[in-house]
Structure 1
Amino acid sequence: MSAELALQSTDLALGQNLAHLLPPSWKEVIPSWFAEDTPSFDWAGFVVGEDEQEAILWGKSGGIVAGVPFFTAIFAYVNCTVEWLVPEGTAIPEGSKTKVAIVRGRARELLLGERVGLNMLARCSGIATASRKFRDIARKEGWHGVVAGTRKTTPGFRLVEKYGMLVGGVDPHRHDLSSMVMLKDNHIWAHGSITEAVKAVRRVAGFSLLVNVECQSYDEADEAIAAGANIVMLDNIEGESLHSAAKRLKDKWRGKREFLIETSGGIVEGSLAGHLGPDIDILSTSAVHQGLGHVDFSLKIQPKK
């Protein structure tokens, strides 16, 4: 698949229900979230009782709404229902207060789910917001390659974070060590050479997995392509060095080998444009899911009339 086709595929997915991508086991993590938040007695919940109530979910800061299936399942776990008033992927305008959903259930159970749901939603929406921003910058620059996240996710929370990337419109990259083969510098150093490492992993990984090799120079990337790598990651290479290396590789191997060139390493919003170019197929960054702001939400039980 070409980089442009991969990007188009991601865009098409945004018009569909992304919750259908989630594995059958995805809800199994929710009890652990509640076990962490309420490990013993719910003292304050004792006060509010069992009356049926409605609570409004408000979006209080600008950003993309993401995490809908997780939020709904969190409240279903405590016997509450959620009526969404905006579809997932909606952009909440900056400076506005937007009614996003209505949550219904017994007061005690609404408050049991409140913080678990809000924490997840704020984080997932923050990732979707950053992802959308990175994707839009790349588009405005006229680049048609793939903007991707990384595997530098929070342990136990990866599915939510990868889901947020998808809602924001970027590629989630590999999901785990079993998804795609990535030979990084430590793999190469431990094995001895790029060529031998690629050959060794191809013997066990078979034909169905792509092999991505992290490279520190043109020469390393050239060796990786010759060995049969599907993707070469030019890591921590910037400016003219990046673009000249990418062009030389494409020119040398044109018509001989099919491969993609990925740029990665410390890419943030301000340096994004400098990594885009006609010979770059993939740009991967952890800046869409690490060290970023959350989208602010609140849940307010409505006074009885």
Structure 2
Amino acid sequence: MSAESDLQPGQNLAHLLPPSWKGDVQRWFAEDTPSFDWAGFVVGEEEQEAILWGKSGGILAGVPFFDEVFKQVDCKVEWLMEEGSVVPPNTKTKVAIVTGKARQLLLGERVALNTLARCSGIATVSRRFRDLARAEGWKGVVAGTRKTTPGFRLVEKYGMMVGGVDPHRHDLSSMVMLKDNHIWATGSITAAVQTVRRVAGFSLLVNVECQNLAEADEAIAAGANIVMLDNLVGEELHGAARELKKKWKGQGREFLIETSGGIVEGSLTARVGPDIDILSTSAVHQSCPHVDFSLKIQPKKKS
């Protein structure tokens, strides 16, 4: 079982988006303009050109969402930078040109900028985490978590992928994760794994959150595909991972070892090692700074 999942350069991640996602944009507009567009009345219907400026360094991410926002208000976007490329810091960088009626440009402005800024911020931190892990020579998977913003998960998971980290499970239906509460409510790791195996079928991986070596060993014996060593650090983590790999080698049990819990940028390198396959953290998408963009309509030329 391999944990390697780096995406290849040039792949268009927009092709992953489900057909339903464009309805999210309609909901964003409904939230931002629930009734009258008072200020839009001032600027009217004249065709205008607006420049999208990148004002802080980061990874450009969220292009399909930005495009769809302006498509729904009959504007066109011409990109001058590719998604996934670096917006340089400490300078204003022309990123795209948006054309359309002035009122429509301003109607889409804030919805598009908020989405782009958030998605790019997540991609930027994700890229930094991935690069830190790769600099250690570690070839495992850096992954985000399900601790996303309700209603905005698709954008946040997309930003992780543009940044080069694994999005982990997308929802409760996409992978079985048995956490401490599931174990306590069921009575044991073995009972929980056996119960879910009866209904989940062969196509779903089972990931079990474990507090120590003994729990991880029980989870593997019960048939877990992934054991998450939660909040273990230092030799307790690496010693347990090493012991598990050694014990089960050649026993016909394929499994991955995941480290998680409290991982931030400064503690990442201490958590990677030769026996760790996955490092999952919410730090790539929670409380990460946004990348600063602005959209400026070009002044009318004086006659």
Q: Name the TM-score class by shorter chain.
A: over 0.9
Match of 2:176 in 1: 181
Q: Which residue of 1 aligns with 2:2?
A: 2
CA-based RMSD of the aligned residues comes to: 0.7
Which residue, out of 222, 225, 236, partners 2:220?
A: 225
In percent, how many aligned pairs have the same letter? 79
After superposition, the C-alpha distances for 1:54-105 in whole angstroms (9 at most, x for unaligned) are: 0000000000000000000000011111001100001011112110000000
Deviation at 1:24, TM superposition (A): 1.0
Instruction: Identify the match of residue 18 of structure 1 among 13, 20, 33.
Output: 13
For 2:271, give the aligned amino acid: H
Return the alpha-carbon distance in structure 1 between the equivalents of residues 104 and 234 of structure 2. 54
- 1:96 and 1:233 map into 2 onto residues whose CA distance is 42
Runs of 4+ aligned residues of structure 1 deviating over 4 Å after TM superposition are none
Q: Structure 1 length normalisation: TM-score?
A: 0.97
How many aligned residue pairs are there?
300
Match of 1:292 in 2: 288
Residue 120 (1) aligns with residue 146 (2): no
| Corresponding residue number in structure 2 for 1:261 | 257
Q: Offset at 1:287?
A: 0.3
AA at the equivalent of 1:126: G
Give the Cα separation in 2 of the matches to 1:240 and 1:291: 29
How far is 1:140 from its partner? 0.4
User: C-alpha distance in 1, partners of 2:72/2:267?
Assistant: 43
Amino acid at match of 1:272: L
CA deviations 1:116-142 (Å, max 9, x no partner) are 000000000000000000000001010
> Aligned ranges for residues 1-305 of structure 1 at < 5 Å?
1-3=1-3, 6-7=4-5, 10-12=6-8, 14-256=9-251, 257-305=253-301
SS in 2 for 1:25: helix
Alpha-carbon separation, structure 2, partners of 1:80 and 1:202? 50
Q: Distance in 1 between matches of 2:110 and 2:29?
A: 10
TM-score scaled to structure 2, two decimals? 0.98
Amino acid at match of 1:2: S
1:212 is matched by which residue type in structure 2? N
Query: Can you give the 5+ residue segments of structure 1 that lack an aligned partner in the other structure?
Result: none
Cα separation, 2, equivalents of 1:29 and 1:299: 22
* CA-to-aligned-CA distance 1:232-283 (integer Å, 9 cap, x gap): 0000000111000000000000111100000000100000000000000000
